[in-house]
Amino acid sequence: MGFFGILMQVTRWVGVIILLELAAAEISFPIALPNCPYTCGDVEIPYPFGLREDCYIDPNFYINCTSNSFGKTQPILPKNITVTSISLEGQAEILMYIAKDCYEQGVLDPSIWNMVWLNSPLNFSVSNTQNKFVVVGCDTYAFLKGSRQNESYTTGCISACGSTRDMVNGFCSGVGCCEVDIPLGLKQIIVQSKSFDNHTEVTNFNPCGYAFISKQDTFNFSIASLLNLRDETMMPMVLDWVIGTETCEDVANKSSYACGGNSSCINSNKSGYLCKCMDGYRGNPYLPDGCQDIDECENDDSCKGPGEKCFNIPGNFTCPCIEGYHLDRSAGVDLCVINQSSLQVKLFVGVGISFIVVLVCSSWLYLIVKQRKLIKLKQRFFEQNGGLILQQKLSKQENSTAIAKIFTKEEMQKATNNYDENLIIGQGGFGTVYKGILPDNGIVAIKKSKTIDENQIEQFINEVVVLSQINHRNVVKLLGCCLETQVPLLVYEFIPNGTLFEYIHHESQASTISWETRLRIAAEIAEALSYLHFAASPPIIHRDVKSSNILLDSTYVAKVSDFGTSRLVPLDQTQLATMVQGTLGYLDPEYMQTSQLTEKSDVYSFGVVLVELLTGKKALSFDRPEEERSLAMYFISFLKDNRLFEILEKHIVKEGKAEHLKEVAHLAKRCLRLKGEDRPTMKEVATELEGLRKVEMHSWANVDSNSEETKFLLGETSNSYKYNAINKSTNVYNSVRDHVIFDLDDGR
């Protein structure tokens, strides 16, 4: 094969690719009036038909979209005619009942109709080109009655046989089956089936006779039809329809003229007329602008001659010569002949263009394959990161007012400037937190784990499920998540002032935090945990309450965060057997021993945070002597020795009233009791702290002289505090106790 042959092969394949692209782009044309529905079930309803008022040309073309007894949606013409398809060429396929006369031992079956009828609307008639009148049986004669041209019309057919021996499958010639042509313009039809001798002679192989109108080529007679047709109810048939009763000439200048632009009127051979798009146009000719120009140049046969270029014009096309060719009429016909002087240039340009086209197509295919791989990878990550489980859990939250948004991988990359290190605002063993900016300029915090395994996936899904149902000013708000990356991402509201741990233990500012601020933060944390325990449905146990999981917003309002280890408590349970998880220094001793998780485990952890606020010391520090490493034990020992004010932060001893400090200290002591049933609930803790805050805010309150007033604000004091302790039977699960997950937090 020479060079020119190779060039032709390349050009041919390029042309095939382009044609495939063009074929894939289907042209859509309107079929109904604007703002009108155009489907009923799986049937398209084109204008002049319509499904509601102002959507059809006249009431004869109204389609009632309803459901049958089997629950299937179906279009119904006036006179209760079921439609299965509508053609703009003036035909509608419908379903017509079969007339049957069935006998049992010579007695007519009264449950079966031997007479059926069709009262078609005006403008509709039985199609004489698409239907046949068919009679099936060995002892059967039937009538087809109707009207045409305002006169009665009757025809019939007889089908007889003594046995099945003379029947031929596929032939309807009078033996077991006969058929009759339909006359033009037949309306208001009645079909009746009768028997000569009640099928007494042929009842063993033909207990019934059948008569019906059937669309041609849909019913194929066979010997089995003698029995099988008893189970059939309806047959497809075709109706012809026209617009009005006038001719095109009579209606052309009237406002009722139905044909739209770029269409022509066709007189019916009965009465009325039809509309058809002119050559070069396609669409619905009954709509004002329904017939639209088609591009004939998309057809390979439009311009066949060499050097010709197809040029589309409204309703037609032309074939001018392309550059490098000239029109030659010497042979008596118009031909485009190549200019010899430009042949070499043309060849060179053709090779160059072919190379470019091949290169572009190759790049295009490469990009498509690459894009598909990226889509599959994102889908794999989505499933690997628990996306299906998350969707299932979120779908069960029927009463949820807001569902977390699912962000895309591209949105996360753009928000973090492709995870720019300068945007990192937090980093630790769990992973990295980035500051991100969304397209609406909203600032968010994006949590990205370092690695992921099955346990982390479960925690991640759990955190999303828990946070998606929480709406509280002191709980960090989850905005959404991203599952299309290798490790899942969580998107939170941005909290600018860091953690309570940093706020308390930062050397430069710890001594400047007032007692009033500390008390407010404690009350806000308690209120959030009380909400989780008593207002959330189902209740939520945080399971990892600690100062580094308390964030502070721009006005230093406390917000509880990090719900990765939280648990939802079923409404019929008060405790859960779980694998022990939490942070050393904050972990409930009873929970560690029994693996039985209750809301009182959060109470103990909150007690440790409260002691941190009182003392300014870390919950667990290996820099302190061994007996002082655990702040909770260290604090309680000072209380027993009546040395409370020695362990408290020095400046809050000066700021706060001694009675109030003692109240908070004893409240912390009650939260740190070894037995969970002896601890107060978070609701009781929140109430008492809020009472203390009210006293602090009202400087006029004199605790000594106005004891009744103080009692009202504080609730019961520590000396008179009473609980309704809930006695719970604690079951120890050894299989769980041996698997404990601890976090040392930032205290070491």
Give the length of the chain. Answer: 748
HEC string of 245-306 equals CCCHHHHCCCCCCCCCCCEEEEECCCCCEEEEECCCEEECCCCCCCEEECCHHHCCCCCCCC
Annotated catalytic residue, options 101, 544, 562, 602 = 544
- Whether the Cβ atoms of residue 432 and residue 360 lie closer than 8 Å to each other: no
DSSP 467: H
Neighbours of 475 (CB within 10 A): 24
Tell me the two tokens of residue 452.
């992921």
Neighbours of 746 (CB within 10 A): 17
- Whether the Cβ atoms of residue 436 and residue 445 lie closer than 8 Å to each other: yes
Q: Which helix (H) or strand (E) holds 190?
A: strand 187-195
Neighbours of 236 (CB within 10 A): 17
Taking each helix axis as running N to C, give the angle between helix 682-697 and helix 599-615, from 0 to 180 degrees, rounded to the nearest 10. 30
Q: Which positions ≥6 away from 220 have C-beta within 8 Å?
A: 169, 170
Give dist(CA 561, CA 542) in Å, integer: 9
DSSP string, 371-430: HHHHHHHHHHHHHHTTHHHHHHHHHT-TT-S---EEE-HHHHHHHTTTT-GGGEEEEETT
Q: Return the half-sphere exposure (C-beta side, CA atoms, 13 A cut-off) of residue 125.
A: 24
Residue with tokens 């094969």, as numbered in its chain: 1
Strand-pair partners of 96: 235
- Residue 11 class from Cβ within 10 Å (0-12 exposed, 13-18 middle, 19+ buried)? middle
CA dist list (Å): 59 to 93, 99, 117? 19, 29, 21
Q: Which positions ≥6 away from 211 have C-beta within 8 Å?
A: 98, 99, 100, 133, 134, 135, 136, 140, 142, 143, 144, 157, 191, 192, 193
- Whether the Cβ atoms of residue 553 and residue 496 lie closer than 8 Å to each other: yes
- Whether the Cβ atoms of residue 260 and residue 288 lie closer than 8 Å to each other: yes
Amino acid at 306: P
Q: Is-catalytic flag, 544?
A: yes
Q: E strands along 573-687, which residues?
A: 576-577, 580-583, 596-597
Give dist(CA 49, CA 491) in Å, integer: 52
Positive or negative torsion for Cα 225, 228, 233, 236: negative
Confirm whether residue 650 is marked as ligand binding.
no
Known binding-site positions for ATP: 448
Q: Which residues are annotated as a binding site?
A: 448
**Residues designated as active site:** 544
